[in-house]
Amino acid sequence: MIFLPSVYLTEPVMLRPTSRQFPFDEVCTQIVQALEERNWEIPGLEVTFRTYGSGSAVFRMLDNVVGKDFVLHFGRNQGLNHGWFDSAAVERIVILKQDLTVYEDEGVSFQKYVGKNWKRDQQRFFEGNYRFNRSIDGDFVTYEGGCDCGRGTSIHHWHQGQRKPILIPKQLDGVVLHTVIRTDDLHQEFAAWLKANVLEFIESYPLVTPDYGRFDVEDIPFPPSLPPVYAFAKFDDAYRIREGKTDANEVLEKNRYALEPVRGWAALGARDDTTPIPEVAYEGFIWCGFGEVTPESALKDLAIPGHFSHDEAFVCRVTPTRANDIYIGDHAAYMRKREELMANIGDRSSFTDREVNAMEAARGHTIVPITDYAGGFEQPVVLIGRELGFDEVEIVSVPKEGWAKNNWEAALR
């Protein structure tokens, strides 16, 4: 099954590395430029991107460049950009069986592979999995930043705000103590290797005509046959929507959206190893229900299947301008699995984590793009995985009592 790509409200601005904090920063900037001049496509290289931000402050940056014998990961902070960190500087470099990670505060992480089965361990080393896998301890050496300013070689003191001049090997079981490494020498070694083996390799390919539409996402019409859609909103959401509809230019760029998905929450189920769940099920969503709402619609009388309201007091009408990144799932699958497990729960008063995961997985299996929905769900829930613009959301019903009512009336004065 093919799922629609995530989209943002505005076209992301491309970020490029500008930092010159480390000796290899310059060559990494040249690598990015050389890739861009060839439309990011070089045989043998895997190039991936990351998009982040919100509202009108949305950014795209290079995430990883992976070759057969190196990894470049970009993610180091190089300043602020419209309220977001600009993280386009190189952060992690893997070359010559060495793994170097640097940070904007001059922190460092360095590991060297010393095992005897590189063919077996290369993928784990490239992915960094060896750091968390004790089974291959002894196949690599971890180094810690230290100082040799005359008070003895030590990791226990350093000069604040300055780069630690040496890297000291940490003793691990089964690993012979290795020699101290000069930090600047290592950085220069990395810069020279990247220039000779990555930059010059990319530049050996001819320049091409720029493909300015490479990242374009086609708007997909929202199905007109579906019933009206509604959602709930918190006070801050409602206030932002009101301000944005009045004059969006008066709202901070990063806040120029009406509603956003709840990120970082496995909204539709734990992973099911036996039957794969669509990957999109692990993203955050704006949970919505089907039905018409009016100013008299009370939040307590409405129910979005599977959604538990947290500090939400406003009811919104949602009118998507496009179907991109909008899905639908059936909460009834969760309830059926819950009843099945409840029948066998015995003397226990609660479900186990595994049982809860099974309920969520059952719901996760039902998810389909809303353009593919043919009807038939018993408890349909609309799941929006992108930000909604001010033109897609309307505050319809406001709270009739309590602090939210009082604060809303005060905000309108």
Q: Which residues of the chain have pLDDT under 70?
A: 1-6, 129-138, 150-160, 171-178, 263-275, 413
Rounded to 10°, the helix 235-247/402-412 angle is 20
* Residue-level pLDDT at 284: 84
Q: What is the mean pLDDT of the chain?
A: 88
Non-local CB neighbours of 149 within 8 Å, separated by 6+ positions: 159, 165
* Distance (Å, whole) CA 112 – CA 170: 11
Residues 247 and 158 in one domain: no
Summarised one tens digit per residue, pLDDT across range 173-208 is 444 456 889 999 999 999 999 999 999 999 999 999
Residues 89 and 149 in one domain: yes
Residues 144 and 242 in one domain: no
* Side chain identity at residue 109, one-letter code: S
Residues 242 and 340 in one domain: yes
Residues 271 and 407 in one domain: yes
* Distance (Å, whole) CA 374 – CA 368: 10
Residue 212 within any structural domain of the chain: no
Residues 310 and 402 in one domain: yes
Residue 132 within any structural domain of the chain: yes
* Distance (Å, whole) CA 93 – CA 17: 14
* Residue-level pLDDT at 269: 59
Residue 214 within any structural domain of the chain: no
Residue 65 within any structural domain of the chain: yes
Residue 167 within any structural domain of the chain: yes
* Residue-level pLDDT at 201: 98
Residue 247 within any structural domain of the chain: yes
| Number of domains forming the structure of the chain | 2
Compute the Cα dihedral for 321, 327, 330, 334 and give only its sign.
negative
Do the Cβ atoms of 22 and 108 come closer than 8 Å?
no
* Residue-level pLDDT at 281: 75
* Distance (Å, whole) CA 69 – CA 56: 38
How far, rounded to the nearest angstrom, does the alpha carbon of residue 27 sit from its chain's CA centroid?
Answer: 27
Summarised one tens digit per residue, pLDDT across range 257-289 is 999 998 654 456 566 666 677 777 777 899 999
Task: Please state the pTM of the whole predicted model.
Answer: 0.85
Residue 35 within any structural domain of the chain: yes
Summarised one tens digit per residue, pLDDT across range 309-340 is 778 999 999 999 999 999 999 999 999 999 99
* Residue-level pLDDT at 200: 98
* Side chain identity at residue 229, one-letter code: V
Helix (H, G, I), strand (E, B) or coil at 178: coil
Residues 266 and 373 in one domain: yes
Residues 193 and 235 in one domain: no
Angstrom CA distances, 50 to 63, 341, 347, stand at 5, 40, 48
> How many other C-beta atoms can be found within 10 angstroms of the C-beta atom of residue 192?
13
* Residue-level pLDDT at 229: 97
* Residue-level pLDDT at 239: 93
Residues 173 and 303 in one domain: no
* Distance (Å, whole) CA 233 – CA 311: 8
Q: Which domain holds residue 332?
A: 229-412
Closest C-alpha among 77, 70, 68 to residue 27: 70
> How many other C-beta atoms can be found within 10 angstroms of the C-beta atom of residue 363?
27
Angstrom CA distances, 388 to 60, 255, 323, 333, 394, stand at 19, 11, 11, 27, 11
Closest C-alpha among 4, 17, 169 to residue 91: 17
Non-local CB neighbours of 253 within 8 Å, separated by 6+ positions: 55, 56, 57, 82, 83
Residues 362 and 304 in one domain: yes
* Residue-level pLDDT at 354: 85
Helix (H, G, I), strand (E, B) or coil at 264: coil
Angstrom CA distances, 221 to 218, 226, 279, 325, stand at 10, 12, 23, 11
Residues 158 and 260 in one domain: no
Q: Calculate what percentage of the chain has a pLDDT beyond 90.
A: 61
Residue 8 within any structural domain of the chain: no
Helix (H, G, I), strand (E, B) or coil at 191: helix
Residues 395 and 342 in one domain: yes
* Distance (Å, whole) CA 394 – CA 296: 14
